[in-house]
Copies of this chain bind each other. A is one copy, B any other.
Amino acid sequence: MSRSVILTLSCPDRTGIVARVSGFLFERGANILDAQQYDDPETGRFFMRTVFDPGARDADALKAEFERLAGELGMEWRLRGADERRRVMILASQTDHCLSDLIWRWRQGELPMDITAVVSNHPESTFPHTDLKGIAFHHLPVTAQTKAGQERALWGLIEETRTELVVLARYMQVLSDELATKLAGRCINIHHSFLPGFKGARPYHQAHARGVKVIGATAHFVTPDLDEGPIIEQDVERITHRDTPAALIRKGRDIERRVLARAVRWTLDDRVLLNGRKTVVFTD
């Protein structure tokens, strides 16, 4: 994959988009390796993801040339080398299952990203069993009184580290509308319920009280509307009457970490495109 290039785009649908994009690539000697398109019949918006071998050109040269076509067709688009690693910041609070799992997968080579920092409102000693070796850790404590300042510090860190994607790996603080807006489309949260099933606090306790037979987790983009952002991925597991809230929390950890890992991997791989309140996910 090292030389291949990923192009993702969305634009109002019209005749000939695929022909013009693939013609553009063909004329420049590129060879399409994988492609998926989707035309939303409701919004009239067209979505496309193409992976191609760029031939003689490099991604930067193509980017400059693609600009004109993109402008003409009113595209939101992104073109980057498959080996350009995105810069990712991970936020966590007190539990480490999602954090540890992301870092483990990253060390395994499953998540092609550079970790700019791990940030927590709790001290580093909260995570004795997470392998933070070689990763910058920032403790940004927060109270109701200091929230605005903490978010300024956080934003400063995001900018300073040129972070492109923020992952809330069970970060139990609600982002302010302002910060959520600034991070629109590039901040992923894992919610520990099968949304929209159990919004708000302690969803596993809610699930237990309601007696559901299946629990789940939801990875979604963060928006100012809490628990209402575009859903990227969900998964579930069966439970029974024997499962206590503690057992649900244990089973939930497994679901959360795999749902979040998938959402992050797909995002890093440019498989997730925003479509209003929803997403288009070109899964592998």
**A/B interface sample: 29 pairs, CB < 8 A:** A15-B31, A16-B31, A18-B25, A18-B26, A18-B32, A19-B23, A19-B26, A22-B23, A23-B23, A32-B39, A33-B39, A34-B38, A34-B242, A38-B242, A41-B244, A97-B108, A194-B197, A194-B214, A211-B275, A213-B231, A213-B232, A213-B234, A214-B234, A236-B236, A241-B278, A241-B280, A242-B284, A243-B284, A254-B258
Q: Which residues of A come within 8 Å of B, CB atoms? A: 13-20, 22-23, 25-27, 29-41, 55, 97, 100, 104, 107-108, 110, 129, 131, 194-198, 209-214, 216, 230-236, 240-244, 247, 250, 253-254, 258, 275, 277-281, 283-284
A15 touches B30 (CB 8 A): yes
Give the number of copies in the complex: 4
Cα distance A37–B32 in the bound complex, in angstroms = 9
Q: How far is the CB of A204 from chain B (nearest CB, A)?
A: 14
- Min CB distance A44 to B, Å, is 11
- Docked CA distance A40–B250 (Å): 19
- With a cutoff of 8 Å between Cβ atoms, the chain B residues found around residue A242 in the complex are 34, 38, 284
List, in ascending order, chain B residues with CB within 8 A of A279's CB. Answer: 211, 241
> Smallest distance from the beta carbon of A97 to chain B beta carbons, Å?
7
Chain A interface, >50% SS class: mixed
Determine the residue in chain B with the shortest Cβ distance to A40: B241
CA distance A277 to B211 in the complex (A): 7
Q: Nearest-CB distance from A265 to chain B (Å)?
A: 9
Q: Which residue of B26, B241, B250, B280 contacts A16 across the interface (Cβ within 8 Å)?
A: B26
Whether A241 lies near B275 (C-beta < 8 A) is: yes
Shortest CB distance A7–B (Å): 12
Partner pick for A18 among B35, B108, B129, B280, CB 8 A cutoff = B35
B36 contacts A36, CB within 8 Å? yes
User: 15 other contacts beyond A35-B35, A241-B275, A241-B281, with CB at 8 A cut-off?
Assistant: A13-B31, A18-B22, A19-B19, A22-B22, A23-B23, A36-B37, A100-B104, A104-B129, A108-B253, A194-B214, A196-B210, A210-B277, A211-B230, A211-B278, A241-B278
User: How far apart are the CA atoms of A31 and B44 in the complex, in Å?
Assistant: 12
Residue from B110, B196, B214, B253 within 8 A of A236 (CB atoms): B214
Tell me how far the C-beta of A237 lies from the nearest C-beta in chain B, rounded to whole angstroms.
Answer: 10
Q: Report chain B residues within 8 Å CB of A254.
A: 258
